Amino acid sequence: MQYHISREGKTYGPYALPDLQRMLTQGQLLPDDLAWSEGMSGWTPLKQILSAAAPAAAPPAPAPAPQPQAYAPPQAQPQPRPVQPGFQPQQPGFTPPQQAYTPPQQPYAQPGAYRPPTGQPYGAAPAAAGGHVPPGMHWGLVLILALVTCGIFGLVWMFLQAGFVKKIDPASKATPLFCGYLAVVLLAGVFMRGSLAALTILPLIHLAAMVIFWIGAFSMRKSLVTYYNSVENIGLRLSGVMTFFFSVLYFQYHLARIANWKKTGRFE
C-alpha cells in the first residue's frame, strides 16, 4: 500500500510502508506527520499507521518432543598430521583483521525537496483514478450560464472551484479571498448611491476588488499545480497570463479534462 505524507500544508509521496519506517528512523519524517492512502477516510498521524501495521508478537513455538537417541559406535580419532619443516604455528590470541562492514548508503531526498522522478504523461492515467473528482462542467456552458445570469452563476462557480481546491489543499486561502473580493464589490455598490464626491473613489474600490480576486485566483493556480505535480502527478501546467485574464473559465477547462480522465481514463 502506498501512502502520501502531509506536512505544513504540502504533500509528498507516495511511499511504501517500509520506506516510511526507514525515513522515520532516519529523522526525515516525524511521528506527528499526517499520512493518507486510498481507502482511508482522512489524514492520520504517521505513528498510528505504523503502530497498526506492526505485526503482533507470535506465541512461542512448543518445544519438540524428545526423540530416542540411536546408538552410534565410537569412531576412531583421526591421527594428527605430521608437522612440515618450517611451519610456524599461529600465535595464541591472534585474530585476523576484519574490515568493518559499511552498508551502502542510498541517497534519499528530504521530504521538503521530494519530486517524483517521472510523472504520468498527461492523458495516460488508468480509468477511475483515485482522489477527489473536480467539477466537470464544460467551460463553455459555464460561460453561457454566467452571461444569462448577469455574472451571478460565474460567482457561484468561482466559489465551487475554490471549495474543490480546499479539498485537495487544506491550506488554500482562495475561498476567504473571494469572499473579500465580493465584499469590496458590494461596498462599491453602496458608494454608488452616495454623493458625487464619493463616486470619485469608486475606481480605487474596483481596483482593490480586482487585486483581491487575482490573489485568490493565483492562490488556486498554485494549489492545483502543486497537487497535480506531486500527489496525482499528471504534469499539470497552468499559464499565468491565462489565469490573469480568464481565471474561472481557464481553470474549468483543465478541471473538466481532469474529471473526464478520472471517469474514463482519457482526455477529450
> In this predicted model, what pLDDT tens digit does every residue of 107-136 receive, in sequence order?
444 444 334 333 444 444 443 456 899 999
Is the model's pLDDT at 173 over the cut of 60? yes
What DSSP string describes 30-53?
-TTSEEE-TT-SS-EEHHHHHHHH
pLDDT digits (tens, 9 = 90+) for 89-105: 455 554 545 555 555 45
Residue 176: predicted pLDDT: 96
Is the model's pLDDT at 261 over the cut of 60? yes
Share of the chain above pLDDT 70, in %: 67
Residue 166: predicted pLDDT: 96
Is the model's pLDDT at 192 over the cut of 80? no
Residue 38: predicted pLDDT: 76
Lowest mean pLDDT of 93-97, 170-174, 193-197, name the range. 93-97
C-alpha cell at 34: 499526517
Burial 141-153 (b: 16+ CB within 10 A, else e): ebbeebeeeeeeb
Residue 219: predicted pLDDT: 96
Lowest mean pLDDT of 79-83, 137-141, 216-220, 242-246, name the range. 79-83
pTM exceeding 0.85: no
Distance CA 249, CA 157 (A): 10
The residue-averaged pLDDT of 221-248 equals 94
Share of the chain above pLDDT 90, in %: 38
The residue-averaged pLDDT of 220-239 equals 94
187/177: higher pLDDT:
177
Q: In the chain, what are the domains?
A: 2-53 (3.30.1490.40), 139-264 (no CATH)
pLDDT digits (tens, 9 = 90+) for 200-214: 777 888 899 999 999
- Per-residue CA distances from 210 to 66, 161, 162, 180, 244 (Å): 88, 18, 17, 10, 10
C-alpha cell at 179: 469572499
The residue-averaged pLDDT of 72-100 equals 56
Burial 9-30 (b: 16+ CB within 10 A, else e): ebbbbbbeeebbbebbeeebbe
Mean residue pLDDT across the chain:
77
pLDDT digits (tens, 9 = 90+) for 134-169: 999 999 999 999 999 999 999 999 999 999 999 999
